[in-house]
DNA sequence: TCCGTTAAGTCAGTTTTATTGACATAATAA
DNA sequence: TTATTATGTCAATAAAACTGACTTAACGGA
């Protein structure tokens, strides 16, 4: 399985170069990818953190605060600042959980949905253009490689238990 | 070329889902990808910015400050803090340009090279594992899609004028 | 019912990483 | 000579995270 790295024939220069290109592709793509939404966020006086919260609440309606934290991997205090703003300004609703009333289930308001669409629009367009140019086969390869870089935990979210495996719907 | 978006047949649900998965793959992969180096950076009291500077100087020995700025897309003042530290602590050398003596050409010292290898090692391993799992064909697809997301400017760096198109070597 | 644990939130202080704006120096190039 | 460029610096500020300590309310098992 991993014998390649132990071959006598040596892990050639091209392989090293290939890997470095991979590193850089990831850097550049992510940089540009976030940049297209940043412009729009400024108009609302929001930052990337707000975008991520809006995005993942959109993807997982009814998600709990702790599940959101485990996606974002930031502290409760960091989330609090951002989430508090979004709730106060009417982009996100909090409902008390029915089974467990300690939980605050998060959903986007209509206003929040509208902002989410606006924010993700350019990112979708960027990816859509890249997918279209590259073709279906390349897209399959892209997904394979990207999935391979994720930990088991994250990889499961791309399985068959819903978009990210955190969705709750119920409330 | 772009007629797809204007089709009457409507841009189906699956397409939307596919794009959203792309967005998330990029988010998770980048998050994990940076995390593996962050651990090590802490030991040196450095942050991601230091890593990026070390990385791109390593890739482009003799790069000028302004070219480095145009890769990183941060302000001169932000770079200054990080670069100054790296120079003072002996990871990066500055030489005055020969043709243009206003320029400061940046190269890694041996100490800097060592740190670079150490830092990038885990990232390379992560990508290598993903490449190996996914197979050569998938890797080609990955590269196609990622390149498609870059602006023309960045895309050229992956052409045939050296690794990133900024390398200078001379000094 | 009592009690330890969990989910969520808050207060206070700090750190990292970036920003804008203004300005300085030296070298290049028209 | 003079405008421009490459680099660097001072000062103030902002964004987004952090640590640590603590509170409130609800759950759940003994």
Please choose, from the candidates A137, A61, A56, the residue with its C-alpha nearest in 3D space to the C-alpha of residue B20. Answer: A56
Burial bucket for residue A133 (CB in 10 Å: 0-12, 13-18, 19+): middle
Of A92-106, B14-28, B154-168, least confident by mean pLDDT is B154-168
Q: What confidence tier does A93 reach under pLDDT thresholds 50, 70, 90?
A: very high
Provide the β-strand partners of residue B151.
none
> Best of A145, A161, A162, A166 to disrupt the B interface by mutation (most B CBs within 10 Å)?
A145
Residue B119 pLDDT > 60: yes
B2-14 confidence digits (pLDDT tens): 444 444 444 445 5
**Whether residue B145 has pLDDT greater than 80:** yes
B6 versus A129: the higher-pLDDT residue is: A129
Domain architecture of chain A: domains with CATH: 12-158 (1.10.10.10)
Q: Residue B64 CA to nucleotide C26 C1', Å?
A: 16
Question: If you measure CA to C1', which residue is closest to nucleotide D5?
Answer: B102
- pLDDT given for residue B46 in this prediction: 86
Q: What are phi and psi of A63, to 5 degrees?
A: -65, 150
Tens-place pLDDT, residues B46-99: 888 898 899 899 999 999 999 999 988 899 999 999 999 999 999 999 999 999
What is the rounded average pLDDT for all residues in chain A? 83
| Per-residue pLDDT, A159 | 63
Task: Write down the pLDDT at residue A33.
Answer: 80
Whether A4 has a pLDDT exceeding 50, the answer reads: no
For nucleic chain D, which protein residues have CB less than 7 Å from any of its atoms?
A 45-50, 73-75, 77-78, 81-82, 99-102; B 64-67, 76-77, 80, 83-84, 94, 97, 100, 102-104
Q: Report the residue from B30, B141, B150 with minimal CB separation from A138.
A: B141
List of residues 6+ apart from B51 with CB closer than 8 A: B37, B41, B119
Distance CA A140, CA A160 (A): 17
Using a CB-CB distance cutoff of 8 angstroms, which residues of chain A are in contact with residue B5?
A: 128
Q: What is the pLDDT of residues A23-78, one digit of tens each?
A: 888 888 887 887 788 878 888 888 888 998 998 999 899 999 999 999 898 999 99
Residue A63, SS3? strand
Tell me if A130 and B123 make a contact (CB, 8 A cut-off).
no
Res B169 pLDDT > 50: no
Query: Residue A109's pLDDT is what?
Result: 96
């Amino acid at each position: 399985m991993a014998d390649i790295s132990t071959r006598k024939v040596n892990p050639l220069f091209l392989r090293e170069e290939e890997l470095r290109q991979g590193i850089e592709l990831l850097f550049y793509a992510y940089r540009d990818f976030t940049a297209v939404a940043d412009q729009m966020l400024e108009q609302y006086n929001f930052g990337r953190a707000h975008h991520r919260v809006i995005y993942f609440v959109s993807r997982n309606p009814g998600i709990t605060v702790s599940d959101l934290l485990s996606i974002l991997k930031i502290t409760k205090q960091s989330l609090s600042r951002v989430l508090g703003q979004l709730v106060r300004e009417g982009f996100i609703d909090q409902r008390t959980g029915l089974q467990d009333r300690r939980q605050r289930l998060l959903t986007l308001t209509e206003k929040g949905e509208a902002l989410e669409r606006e924010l993700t629009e350019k990112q979708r367009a960027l990816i859509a253009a890249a997918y279209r140019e590259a073709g279906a086969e390349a897209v399959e390869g892209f997904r394979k490689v990207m999935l391979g870089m994720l930990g088991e935990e994250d990889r499961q979210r791309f399985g068959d238990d819903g978009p990210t495996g955190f969705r709750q719907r119920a409330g």
